Structure 1
């Protein structure tokens, strides 16, 4: 009809309409006959799927049409020390920060709100934390932080720089809003620490490099975190200092001869210092002593010369023993003709085994005498 317009609103829609530039109201589901002289009717269709009402409409509706606003809109609001968990159809739709508000279409619900008063305890109750994580909304992820503590670990939970709690293994959530919250995970199991390539000068001014290894575990997490900035770095430096001091007072020969005792001398100092910061050091090993190239060559030459001298001594000792044995044999044969005869037969047997034919002119009785005479001639 002239001057009018019919507007149909679906069940999941709402329409805000203006006529001659003025806000007129909210249209619910159904067909509506609206004035439209000179095409001055303006409508804005809003879907209930987008539950939040645009902020510019929200202000106008509550100020100019409070009755219609109360019928169609629901306002959620928080105080300066509150959070609000807004649920829609039993699922978390949004989280309101302190001094925040949210206006939604009432018919987009059903709606439910849970107000949470913020205090010094930032932890989130486990059931609520589980629901917040499952929601996965951007608002939740912005202010809800998680801490995962595995078996063999402990977490020191610090609020504004002070230790608030010690957390055993588990999954925890906390509000990350007004306070500076840090969760420091500490492994309580035994751990290795290697100190490699440490250069030092021995008492006889030889530069060597050493490799150390230690095994430790944290027995007092609070001390380990509060007494030093980094307990692993503190142990590293303690090992460096202890071994530099101990080995620097020894010559190279002493170090090479006493690697095992060096560990015992240095370990006691390290263990007592680390116990003061909550660490238990169980094993300290001097794994390697590495010499510079020219020193290795010199040492190899010394070892080679020592071994050669030892070999010569052994050789001379064996030659002396052999000569002494021959002398003793000669004395026995001089005093015992039967023994001499046996030696003659052994010599003859040895010679016969090396030639094809042997001719004996004077008989075996004179064989040795002929040999002696030939030697004298």
Structure 2
């Protein structure tokens, strides 16, 4: 009965739930926003149009937002809250203590008042776009990083921050965030640890025109990161070339024999020049060594023959020296025996003892006394 009566009177009963708000239009004009409850609204010729909005989706998405603020500002301000940023602003919007959205520069958000409570924190990025550490941690935990450029600097490294191509800051180990404000943000990582670098298999020509291959090694670390990164485009390539050119220059002034004899001193002298050159670029180089000198196959065979001949000559000298010493020793022994008959007798008995050790059975016919007399006779004869 009530439904029929309302129809005759051109009205419509609209029920709004607690979690809803209704935006009503009659004959194309906004009537207002209606809260929970039962409402009788005009509906002649079915000219009533209603839009239901669930407060669980707080952002206002109505096409009539601007019209409502213009025609019924009191109604709009009662039900809606507007957040808007300027060209140098970033705003964090919180709903019931939780980050709801982050607005970048020149952005706007309209939400339902009753879906709050709402709070905002505004950041002025005109003088710096770095996100404060406590907010960065919170945004990271709540996964609200759409307006943040996140940079991670690993342990034992430093990050060089470039904004619009200009170096502005050194970033230490950890997590860093910067607001997306339309500027180009980039960074380079530089390792602060001591690292090895090798120059392997470099062909070089000696003073006596022998082509050799050398292996060079060194350690480096950055003592002035900004200078090392900004002065040259690739500091590792610079170190490599410095080692290569320095050793090529010094080895070219030496013969092969000099290089093989003075391998350690080459590393010391050349290394000192390299250290001074690279220190001006903010790079410390140490442990510079000429590790290997690799000869061509035919040169290696010739060198082996030379070494073998030298060793053979040294062996002959040693043999001659020992033979001379042995002869001199025999001569001295003979002189001693000639001057001392007792010594001669002792040597004879010693010789007899050695002979007896090698004979299994020795038969003496005329006694030990006769044997000794015979020995004496033999010498006398």
* TM-score w.r.t. length of structure 1: 0.82
The residue aligned with 1:364 is 372
Q: Does 1:202 align with 2:225?
A: no
- Distance between the aligned counterparts of 1:324 and 1:369, measured in 2? 29
The residue aligned with 2:276 is 272
The residue aligned with 2:264 is 260
The residue aligned with 1:135 is 142
Q: 1:66 to 1:364 in 2, by over 3 A?
A: same
The residue aligned with 2:243 is 239
Secondary structure of 1:359 counterpart: coil
Structure 1 residue 250 displacement after superposition: 1.4
Q: Does 1:83 align with 2:90?
A: yes
* TM-score w.r.t. length of structure 2: 0.82
CA contact (8 A) 2:211 2:295 kept: yes
Q: Does 1:145 align with 2:153?
A: no
Secondary structure of 1:99 counterpart: coil
The residue aligned with 2:164 is 160
Range with bigger deviation, 342-351 or 176-185: 176-185
- Distance between the aligned counterparts of 1:121 and 1:346, measured in 2? 106
- Distance between the aligned counterparts of 2:338 and 2:37, measured in 1? 147
Q: Which runs of 5+ in 2 are unaligned?
A: none
Structure 1 residue 310 displacement after superposition: 2.3
- Distance between the aligned counterparts of 1:20 and 1:55, measured in 2? 18
Cα deviation, 1:251-287, whole Å, max 9, x if unaligned, reads: 2221121122112221232122112212233442222
Secondary structure of 2:229 counterpart: helix
Q: Which runs of 5+ in 1 are unaligned?
A: none
Structure 1 residue 171 displacement after superposition: 4.6
- Distance between the aligned counterparts of 2:109 and 2:170, measured in 1? 37
| Residue 222 of structure 2, aligned match among 208, 218, 231 | 218
Count of residue pairs brought into register by the alignment: 370
Secondary structure of 1:208 counterpart: strand
- Distance between the aligned counterparts of 1:44 and 1:206, measured in 2? 92
CA RMSD of aligned residues (A): 3.4
Cα deviation, 1:292-342, whole Å, max 9, x if unaligned, reads: 444444433433333333223322322232233233333433444333322
The residue aligned with 1:99 is 106
Q: Does 1:28 align with 2:35?
A: yes
CA contact (8 A) 1:146 1:173 kept: yes
Structure 1 residue 241 displacement after superposition: 0.9
Secondary structure of 1:113 counterpart: strand
Q: Does 1:71 align with 2:93?
A: no
Structure 1 residue 221 displacement after superposition: 2.8
Range with bigger deviation, 250-259 or 272-281: 272-281
1:164-175 mapped onto 2 (5 Å cutoff)? 164-168=168-172, 171-175=175-179
- Distance between the aligned counterparts of 1:224 and 1:44, measured in 2? 63
The residue aligned with 1:115 is 122
CA contact (8 A) 2:102 2:147 kept: no
CA contact (8 A) 1:143 1:177 kept: no
CA contact (8 A) 1:220 1:279 kept: yes
Range with bigger deviation, 79-88 or 104-113: 79-88
- Distance between the aligned counterparts of 1:41 and 1:294, measured in 2? 104
Q: 1:116 to 1:37 in 2, by over 3 A?
A: same
Range with bigger deviation, 111-120 or 350-359: 111-120
- Distance between the aligned counterparts of 1:36 and 1:356, measured in 2? 147
Secondary structure of 1:363 counterpart: helix
Secondary structure of 1:195 counterpart: strand
Range with bigger deviation, 340-349 or 175-184: 175-184
